[in-house]
Amino acid sequence: MKLDPRTKMVMVLCLSGLALLYNTPGRLLLLLAVTVAILLLFRFDLGAIGSYLKPFLSLMVFLFVIQCLFAPSGRVLLAVGPVPLATTGGLLTGAGVVLRIVVVTAAAMLLATFNARDFILGLVQWKVPYELAFMVFIALRFLPVFRDELVNVVTAVQLRGIDLKKVPWGQKIAMYRRLLFPVIYGAMLKAQRLAVSMEARGFRVYPRRTYLRRLNFRFVDYMVLVIFPLITIVLILLQLS
Amino acid sequence: MSFLEIDHVSFTYPRHDKPVLTDVDLHFDQGVITALVGPNGSGKTTLTRLMIGVLRPSCGEIRLERRPLVEYSLGEIGRRVGYVFQNPDLQLFCGSVAEEVGFGLANRGCKQETVMERVAFYLDYFELKDYADVFPLHLSQGEKQRLAIAAVLANDPLFLVLDEPTVGLDAYRKRLLEDYLKKISRSGRGMVLVSHDTAFVDRVAERVVILEKGRVIEDSGRKGKAADEA
């Protein structure tokens, strides 16, 4: 199915909005199923979602455990003396947090089904200033760059002979803390180089910018643009009532 | 038995149809400098990344010291094989040049004095002494390249894989690198170097393997003085 990039952006906003609003695993699972169905409709390779989520797996496990421990409610399933470690409510809240991350990531994958030029073009045709649209695009582009940077550092550290699995947690955290600043600074240097390169190619030199292509909504876009937000608003109202 | 064996390896990147490497069968021995040459996109860097376990073969097997590479952790491979990335920016991650050179040794529990001694030696050899406290990514391309090589050599690996080690180096520094690599080779350690620098390859390599479109089209085998001595 072919849709205008702007239509897909609206779909992402609706799906992500609902994911942030919903807090029960049941509804989030349903939302995930809808998101996956949409991605399949666009012939998106679902394996890519897994590879995007893989680096955040430990964070998700951490959040799940934290929610289990610090949001106890319902029936106690596991306890150490008077302290409940796992409760039915805590498990559901934990599962909700993890599912929310998965839904937002999966929804964002819709943005990967069209090219960056169309993304900027779509925003510009919505009267978003070009500079701002380009900034949003660069910010989105830098997320995977930053992720790759972290993966590279972890690989490079191991290739210097350090077996991260065998390093005690305290030492590992200290090592990561020491590496964090150079990684962030490295990303900033890259951003700086990118800015110089953009300016060297005439970014913002002329007040007016022309575009070779124009995006045009088709009938199916108008349908989705009406139906999708409408369903979202109804679901939000139902959730709030 | 060879130190590193690539046994009928093919590799295709995920979500790609075309294989980058097809049925590559190569064995690398200790004490031999092998150059891997070929045009851009022939699969040289992919092959080196397979050799250090960052990528896994789609079919075939790679063995390090007779054990399948998949049985090693990256850390275990790193202790045996030193890898210099094609782009040094990808392997520099510390806050200063001196820390970068000593990182592996310090984190593997070497004594502070030993670390300092080794760091001082490599900073001196690769003429980076004046930059000891500089942030590595602030260095020029050639300096970064020298630092990446120094940081790998400081770990004293059994085998080396160098992807384009001469990029950004001037003639004098190339000569320094050449001398050092030959010295390492004489001490019985092997290495594979990927390079487009034909003059450097001619001077350093004892064996040349040519890759084209993901296949080995020529393997000179061990040649020259070293082979005669062996």
Give the model's pLDDT for residue A175. 80
Could you give the ipTM of this predicted complex?
Answer: 0.84
Q: Which helix (H) or strand (E) holds B79?
A: helix B74-80
Which residue in chain A has the smallest CA separation from B150?
A: A160
Report CB contact under 8 Å: A159, B83.
Answer: yes
Q: What distance in Å separates the CA atoms of residue A7 and residue A92, rounded to the nearest whole number?
A: 33
pLDDT at B225 > cutoff 90: no
For the ranges A27-41, A145-159, B122-136, B164-178, which has the lowest average pLDDT? Answer: A145-159
In chain A, the largest separation of any two C-alpha atoms, in whole Å, equals 71
Cβ burial, residue A156 (10 Å; 0-12/13-18/19+): buried
Are B191 and B162 in contact by the 8 Å Cβ rule? The answer is yes
Binding-site residues on chain B for chain A (CB distance < 8 A): 14-15, 52, 54, 73-79, 82-83, 85, 89-95, 103-104, 107-108, 135-137, 151-152, 155, 157
Interface test with A, best of B55, B90, B110, B144 (most A CBs within 10 A): B90
Sorted by sequence, the CB contacts under 8 Å of residue A46 that are 6+ apart come out as A36, A39, A40
Q: What is the mean pLDDT of residues A124-146?
A: 83
B79, B91, B135 member nearest A156 (Cβ): B91
Looking up tokens 């009532």, which residue turns up? A241
Q: Give the count of beta carbons closer than 10 Å to the beta carbon of residue B82.
A: 27
Closest CA relative to residue A18, chosen from A29, A8, A5, A28: A28
pTM over 0.90: no
Interface test with B, best of A150, A160, A175, A193 (most B CBs within 10 A): A160
Q: Coil, strand, or helix at residue A206? A: coil
What one-character DSSP code corresponds to residue A230?
Answer: H
Q: What is the mean pLDDT of residues A162-191?
A: 81
Sorted by sequence, the CB contacts under 8 Å of residue B189 that are 6+ apart come out as B30, B31, B157, B158, B159, B160
The distance from CA A163 to its chain's CA centroid, rounded to whole angstroms, is 30
Give the model's pLDDT for residue B224. 55
pLDDT at B192 > cutoff 80: yes
Q: What distance in Å separates the CA atoms of residue B143 and residue B168, rounded to the nearest whole number?
A: 8
What one-character DSSP code corresponds to residue A23?
Answer: -
Locate all alpha helices (DSSP H) within chain A, ordered by sequence. Answer: 5-21, 25-41, 47-53, 57-70, 88-108, 116-125, 130-159, 169-200, 219-240
Which residues on A lie below 8 Å from B16 (Cβ)?
none
Report CB contact under 8 Å: A161, B79.
Answer: yes
Binding-site residues on chain A for chain B (CB distance < 8 A): 45, 47-48, 152-153, 155-167, 175, 178-179, 181-183, 185-186, 189
Report CB contact under 8 Å: B94, A152.
Answer: no
- Per-domain residue ranges for chain A? 6-114, 129-204
What one-character DSSP code corresponds to residue B156?
Answer: -
Count of CB pairs separated by less than 8 Å, A with B: 76
How far is A215 from chain B, CA to nearest CA, in Å?
29
Which residues on B lie below 8 Å from A193 (Cβ)?
none
Length, in residues, of chain B: 230
A45, A161, A182 member nearest B95 (Cβ): A182
Average pLDDT score over chain A:
86
User: pLDDT confidence of B13, banded at 50, 70, 90?
Assistant: very high
pLDDT at B227 > cutoff 50: no
At the fourth CATH level, the homologous superfamily of domain B4-229 is P-loop containing nucleotide triphosphate hydrolases (3.40.50.300)
Q: What is the mean pLDDT of residues B162-180?
A: 90
